[in-house]
Structure 1
Amino acid sequence: MPFARELAAYGDRIALITPEGQLSYRELAERVALTAERLGPVRRLVLLAGANRTDALVTHLAALSAGHPVLLVPGDSESTIRSLTEAYAPDVVARPHTDGTWTLDERHPTSAHTLHPDLALLLSTSGSTGSPKLVRLSHDNLQANAESIAAYLGIDDTDRAATTLPMHYCYGLSVIHSHLLRGAGLVLTERSVSDAAFWDEFRAARGTSLAGVPYTFDLLDRVEFARMHLPHLRCVTQAGGRLAPELVARYAELGRRSGWQLFVMYGQTEATARMAYLPPQLAAERPEAIGVPIPGGSFRLDPVDGHGPGAGELVYSGPNVMLGYAESPADLSLGRTVEELRTGDLARRASDGLYEIIGRRSRFLKILGLRIDPQRIEALLEAHGVAAYCAGDGETLAVTALGDASAQGRIRRLIAQDCGLPPHAVRVRALAELPRLASGKPDYEAVRQLTRPAAEAASDPAEDLVCLYAEILDRVDVTEDSSFVSLGGDSLSYVEMSLRLEESLGHLPADWHTRTIRELRPLTAPVARTPDERDGSVPRRDRGIRSALRTWTSPDSWGTRRTLETGVVLRAAGIVLIVGSHVRIFDIKGFAHILLGVAGYNFARFLLTDATRRERIRRLGRSIARIAVPSMVWITGAVLLTDFYDPANALLLNTLLDQGNDRFDWAYWFVEALVYFLIALTLLMAVPLLDRLERRYAFGVPLALMAIGLVGRYDLLGLASVRPQLSPSVVFWLFALGWAAARADTVRQRALLTAALLLTVPGLFEDQPLRTALVIAGLGLLIWVPTLPSLGPLSTLAGVLASSSLYIYLTHYQVYPYLQEDFPITALLASLVIGVGYATVVTRTARTIRWL
């Protein structure tokens, strides 16, 4: 393996830049030689837990340089390491120990296998699923592909590439090989491009090259890559799936303006990594093309029935084509069994000589960036006693299975957990008989048709609700016995859930959040779908947006009568009036105090459920984090970029530290109060006795807390801050009142709360009778009126505003001051839009990192 053996030729040039320091090529070669000596002169199969860290890379290079075949697996997947260890019985297992140190577990002094002399590397064909089917690559494959890539990218010893992709992935590995071949540097990191620290490392290392799959470019958009100053960046490469042509064109233009080039590439593991690239000067005008073959490679098109003479299956030839597949240890003795690569892609060659992919012939699927083998999923289900056919349908996996509808949720969970797909990307339909063609072969087109949403809803409306719950709550364990509260739904997700449920049910029961899907089944009403929804051409994630647009543009929708929960109306109207009053378009104050009552109301409904005490505490902690973390992040930015706030604001400690009486010092009093209340109540609910009391006296406990809160309301202990009506000790009784309102289920209890409201609110706001009356009216509605009439478009708008209300409140202080004098209406609208945008960012981030 020339590039692995000749590292020392580059002397003192920097080979690796890591968080622990730099390593020259001479130092790297010495470490590789020591590890190769330990592996010994007798060829052995080395299973390597791949990771973008020095130990893993040194072991990989040592094995290649000494001729030991490497079985490269994802180091972060214990199940894959275990399954491939069992399947291939490697002679050496190289991986981190539990204490983080690197270990070489030498299981056999000589190889237990017959290893073909050409065999250098074994890679999975299906990501991290642990499939025993592996691609056999030779030393010549690796060397030829590295040389070809280095040639068309123009890599030289001044380049420094970041390891933005996993080492066990052929694309990520090709970045490593092609740069080491030319004596270039590697910025060896395991950080994501969404991590600010990654960019600090990249700039400090004077990085010149970034590699990404389509999802990487989504992350780049989120971190505003277009605005970054990266003076040494020379090229950005993309492979791993089709990038939308509009994104290719946009990034090509961005590169032209910023001084770097975009290389769009096409490849497969079976071709070591790459087969084609799009010359960067053509990316803007031909973004839909995969380009031309890499140096040393060639394409031909084999005719396929049903396609014209200009199209066919793309067949690749070149020195990087694999030796063949391995499905068992016996196959490791085989030499070349494949001379050319039938890609399974349908393509055509345009008049300008560029190749374009127009379809897929093989059954391998790319769903949300993951390569999925439907045949392996069928085998997985068969192992669980389920006969099924699987097919791809755009960005979803379609599955028909023998059985009844009650098994659909279990099948979806099995597939989602095994493949790493979100539940909403798996569509399952249980049937009495699997669809077959007249020849007896599976009818995969029928699989796609039978699992499309219209067919699913027609067959079992309750299963459609299972999909809905799984999608909105991002859960894989939804069954017909699940309810919104049992799945951990909270006030931040119930708005979207309630609106979507009303579309499905026709009306929304007051206790919908505690009812199981099975109990909601009789209420399910068929939903009218547009033609593009019926044929499945609109991806599920886009339907909410399309539905909202149709609602606003359809004249019929304005006559559609709906209902909205009073809490949703108060949150939506409240945030508009709060922002509008700050902008001074009008002067209607009091809604922040009403929203404290709404917060207490939702606290009782979604956090104090029948779950165990431990589960309650977990959900309370999660709720605190979902409020506090995005708030602290945003306010920290405001502290750093403006002079209006102190660090105490960013830490949500302004109330406790009494920073002063400036208007902006107290801007976030509402968030601070809410976080304080939740922390205090979490501590109380952690006490077993108090937890039991709350369950037994569901109305009595919040009533008692409201009475205790009145001590603070009238400041009998002198705890109020310089702004009493904004002090948590003063306003806690409103939160407790909302909690009690959620538990009040008799007229007498509601009347008692109303009397308390009428007696205690007056005097809170001195000389502000309108504000007093507004708080009484708003909380009175919450006590007595569970829902309010609405129209379809208004419900949609209210839902968006209500679900984003906390984030609008957070962000509007940094928006409206710049516009309010000259453009007050624009200031209001901009505040709402930016808050909704921040809510979207927080929601996506929370689903990604899963701890919010």
Structure 2
Amino acid sequence: MKHLVRHLRSYGDRSAVHTAERTLSYRSLADRVERTAAEFAGGRQLILLEARNDIATLVHYLGALAGGHVVLPVPPGVDHTDLLATYRPDIVIDATGVHRRGTGGHQLHPDLALLLSTSGSTGSPKLVRLSAANLLANAESIAEYLDIRDIDCAATTLPMSYCYGLSVIHSHLLRGAALILTDLSVIDDAFWELFARHRGTSLAGVPYTFDLLDRIGFDTMVLPHLRYLTQAGGRLEPDRVRQFAALGRRRGWQLFVMYGATEATARMAYLPPELAGTRAEAIGRAVPGGHLWIDAPDGEIGELVYQGPNVMMGYAHSAADLASAPGTDVLRTGDLARRAEDGLFEVVGRANRFAKLFGLRIDLQRVESTLRERGIAALCTTDDDILVTATTADAQRVRRAVGEITGLPAGSVRAVTVDELPMLPSGKPDYPAVRALRPEQSAATALRAVFADVLHLDPAHIDSGASFVDLGGNSLSYVTMSVRIERVLHELPPDWHRLPLGELEQLTPRKRGWVSTLETSVALRAIAIVLIVGSHAELFEMWGGAHILLGVAGYNFGRFCLTSAPRGDRVRHLRNTIGWIALPAVAWVAITMTFSDDYGWSNLLLANKFLGPFDSMTAGRLWFIEVLVWTLVLLTVLLWVPAVDRLERRGPFAFALVFLAAGVVLRYDAPGPDPGEDAWFNMLAFWFFAVGWAVAKSSTVWQRAAITALLAVGLFGYFGDPVREGLVFAGITLMIWLPAIRCPVLLTGVFAALADASLYIYLTHFQIYPLFGEHRLLGVLAALVFGVVVAQLVTRLRAAVHQRSPIIPSWTRVAAMTPSARTSDAVITPRPREAAGDRDSSRFH
């Protein structure tokens, strides 16, 4: 590098640098570099340089190299605290001037010349150590395959703190070509005026640069002196490569697609421009002086490995590493690649661009590519168990698209709409910035998005006067909705399901704490299903969960089925509710009958309690489903009668209380039928459902007190087991008097998942836990997880059906809508798990 000044001066009065204000010859540039090198005299020093694309920065950079110092270029406007603390530079050069900080006492390896960040940002003190030989070797290699001539003039479209931007400077100064120094973007008219004025011959860009070129109509520009474009800094989609290659052929310039890494100074491979139209998916061949191969012991695809004189000396993590000797000249890229028959290399993925979410291996690069094929510009990364997407498109559309591409549930995809995709100063994607994105939207906007997502509606067509119930919400969708609303508002407003969206949008979110609000009915569903599965698997013995779920089912029936909607709409809603309980039950019974004799035809009809056989060990397993379905069928028939419908509307609580009182009377066998008859079991269990129904319609303390009293009377001696009766009383009483509870945020999601899947857990757990024999805890956990997975699959299937047949609700028909793709019905909510044939119906045998 000490010969740098002599090299610059050798090109005499040729133009070296153009800016908007002036032009410097190579001679003038050499003079300035020589003076600056003299100013840095006094032993080798570490110089941190805020790099701008201007003459001052270029002179300081070249002067430092000419003086044998070590330069650390950094982007301006970024906090460099970590770098300053870690490396203690002797000199800092920023927009305000040169600041000497005293000697850092550095031990600097004699070959070390340049330190670069691998990410283009200063978030990490990890740096790449490059020698003068590395820089010279790569500059010569690039200048050779690009055929850079002294008549060329390259615009600095990339920052000088980025290895790609620096390589443009190095390679052109090496051949006596000119540079157009500017920080202007290619979307600025002034940039193109400057480029045309100085007869620019080349442009360098990352994939995002090419997006900008498309945006400004680059294909119509008249650029008579342009010889070639170069592209690196990330994969440009093959279609885009072919697009620009074809444009270049028409306009008389070439496209060089290149592949590199900071660890290799800049470039490791390039695709000859004549192949860009036919081999657009390839990165090409190794640059002159370098060698590429595939480490694939088990097949044709393996890690891409490069060897060459431009490979770094190694990494630096602290100031002590600056004295370390060079490492190997072999670089393992971390990219998965193959070598095609024509000798060209193709990168097929990157190990650290794969994510494991919900047991699925997700190729994030492929997700981005597929989104782009659909016309969606996006960047994807992960944040714990969430796939985060930054996009310039509609966030809801992107969430649906990502779900379709990956198979991930919608709740595990966070899409944030941004004006511009987050990019590093180098022009590469800024994935840490993507990961940190949160939807910057008002609570009102967030709530509307939640309603649209959970109920699968078009947000633009949701009337602000409509409530969750009006829009077709029911017991299953309300679990998801309540959790999502709590995340937005940090509390769950009382009777939120009846409040118009417009009123919810007016609420101000509270400050987020470590606890959240959860509806008691949701918590009861989750706890009850765990009690049911655990008791059946004999992990413990705590019976009564299914009867609590009957109460929750009645509660949801009163809230979501008996709305103010017209009678016909009510009946349709009930019909759909019955279907979303009965159909999964019948389907699972049919599946089970193919490999087990647990069930018979009466189970398939959900009528075992009516038709028998009554002596089977598994005869009563589905008693809860039978009670629930036939109760809903009878109530649907009743409410279809206009007179009954009008009566219920006039006095909702009184109407429910009559049914509760009748149920308690039947519970005490007042009419005299034999309670041992299984068909009568349905009528005897109905009163638990009626309790929940009455709770949903109660509005005063006295009404709730009356329900509590009837509950106590009905439960006294009901099971002949005080512990079981106390458990059921405690659970339903909690729902009567405490509609919502506070619990740790981490538990909210667990409760919601279990509650949401309770129907499927109940249906399937009888076949799952026995597979684990005496490993009862594993059997219980497996049954719970299996049910949750089934619920997610069903939700995804229903969502796909809704996407193919989109429903745009009108306010006059919102209450008549089919349950959303996530609903399982007001009553489906209760997915209980106590089998009569096991122990939950033991009181009747």
Question: TM-score normalised to the size of structure 1?
Answer: 0.48
Of structures 1 and 2, the one scoring higher in RCO (CA 8 A, sep 6+) is 2
TM-score by length of 2: 0.49
